A and B are shown apart, each in its own frame.
Chain A
Amino acid sequence: MNNKFDALKDDDSGDHDQNEDSGSPKECEKEKNEEEEKDQNKRKTAVPGAGEHPLQYNYTFWYSRRTPGRPASSQSYEQNIKQIGSFASVEQFWRFYSHMTRPGDLTGHSDFHLFKEGIKPMWEDDANKSGGKWIIRLRKGLASRCWENLILAMLGEQFMVGEEICGAVVSVRFQEDIISIWNKTASDQATTARIRDTLRRVLNLPPNTIMEYKTHTDSIKAWEDFHGLVNASGGR
C-alpha cells in the first residue's frame, strides 16, 4: 500500500521513513525518552584516548536502509536505523571511517548519518524539531568525495555557527545521491546562510550547483499531506 508513496519519497534524503501512524505525539515522546534513558545506561560516552586529538563534539555514526515491501512507520524507521558507533577524537573517527564502506559503494536505498552524540537523526529529536537542512543533489560518482569533505568540515568545526550544526546525512538513491547537513534553528537566516557558504567552499561545488534549504516542519507537513492525499483518494 505504500508503493506510490515510496516512489515519491525516493528523491528525498535520509529522514523520511517516519510517519505519525503509531500513536499520539505524546506517546511517541514518552517512548523516545524511555529509549534515551536505556541508551544512556547502556552506552558510555566516548572519550579521547591518550595522545589523541579531541574533537569539539562527540559524534555518532548511523546507518539506515529501507527494507523494500515493508510498511513505512516511525517504528520501522527506528528499527532500520543502526548505530555504528561513537567517537570523541580525530583518531577514533578514522577507526570507524576506515572500516566502513564508502557511500559511493553502497547498494540500494541507504543512508549514512553522522550526528552529534545524543542527537538522533530524526526530525522529532529535540535538537532537530525547530531545524532544517541544506540539501545538495549529486550525480552518481561524487558522493564518496563530497561526503568525506562534508564530514571533515563538520568534525573540524569549519562551519563557524556555534552550536547550530546537528549532523550530516548522505543518501544513496537510484539515480542520484544526496548529501545534507542539519542545523538546529531553521529560522536563523544568518546561520543558514553561513552554512550554505561554507558548504560551497568545502565541497568545491560548481557555482551553478543548486542548494535547497528545507525546514523539518515542512518535511513533516509534506509527509502528512501526502498521507492525507493517499487516504482521501482511497489509497490503492
Chain B
Amino acid sequence: MTLEIYKEHILDLYKNPHNKGNLKNPTYEFSKNNPICGDEIKIQILAKNNKIADIKFCGQGCVISQASASLLTDKIKNLSINKIKKLNKEHILEMLKIPISYTRIKCALLPLEAVRGALENVRN
C-alpha cells in the first residue's frame, strides 16, 4: 500500500538530506516550484570541463520531492552534462525504488526539472 512510500531509506533522506545547502560561486542556478503542492526547489551547479563538479539544492517540499532531490544530486555529481540531459522519468523512479502514484509523480520529477532548467540556462 501507500505506506511503502515511507520506507526507511526515503524517510532518512527526508530527515538527513544529501547536498542540501548553497554553493558560493555556482556556475548555474535555477529555481522551480510546483504551485499545486507548494513544493519549491533551487538547484545550484558548479560545472568544470563540462561536468558537474559540485551541486546543492535548497527549498521545501514533501517527502518524495526532498528524497528525489537528494538522490538526484548524488547521482549527477561528477557526471557529464550531456549524460545528465538524457536522464528521464524512469531513471528517477528507479532511483527512488518506491511506488509513485499518478498524483505524486510531479513531486518526484521536480528536482530533475530544476536541474534541466539550470542546464537550459547554460545555453541561453
Determine if chain A interacts with chain B: no
